[in-house]
Amino acid sequence: MATKTEKEQAPMGDRNIADMPKDYIPGWGIDADPENDPTYPMKKWNGADHERLNYPKAPQQDTDVEILKSIERPVVTRVFGSTVPPSGLSGMLRRKAFKYSEGTSAHWMGLILADRINMVEGLIDDLSKGYIPNFFKEWGWPAEWKYNRKKFVQKAAIGTAVTLAAIWLLKKSAKKSR
């Protein structure tokens, strides 16, 4: 008997994850068999260990903002964070990253790049509202100075050297272009 391919199994639409057939996800419920428990013999059994499989599920959280979800999941998880919906260039990058599988570097590198861009967008937003961030405190430098002074001085020296080298190279290239 032929098994269904992933593409034949994939179209689940808006069905609830609890309604999905258990063989939809390879390895689903692998820990449900007490004879196949990887914690044996270390686990201390109390008699209700497999009751965890029969708990009442949380109600589906309403979506009132855009929620990005993995392509591996047919529906949004029951509970999720919704405080900061994707926006701007970082939001565009996040949407693009979520078009890739979580097993690819394109997904994770896209999200990391989006985080870095979101930091710059936040800085621009702060400056546009007249708030000047206190980088010294926000980056934890007082704590580093207090508890890890040697590394702090080393980082400061390297940062200063790199900055001075960059300025020197820029001035040198400006002289050549004249």
Rounded mean pLDDT of the chain?
Answer: 81
- The helix-helix angle for 88-97 and 105-128 (nearest 10°) equals 170
pTM above 0.85, yes or no: no
Express each pLDDT in 22-43 by its tens digit: 666 676 766 666 666 666 666 6
Residue 57 CA to residue 78 CA, distance in Å, equals: 9
Q: What is the mean pLDDT of residues 60-86?
A: 83
* Segments making up each domain of the chain, as ranges: 134-178
Please state, as a whole number, how many other Cβ atoms lie within 10 Å of the Cβ of residue 160. 10
Residues 18, 22, 24, 30, Cα dihedral to 10° = 120
Least confident of 69-73, 80-84, 87-91, 99-103: 80-84
66 pLDDT higher than 60: yes
Express each pLDDT in 86-119 by its tens digit: 899 999 999 999 999 988 999 999 999 999 999 9
Is residue 121 within 8 A of residue 89, CB to CB? The reply is: yes
147 pLDDT higher than 80: yes
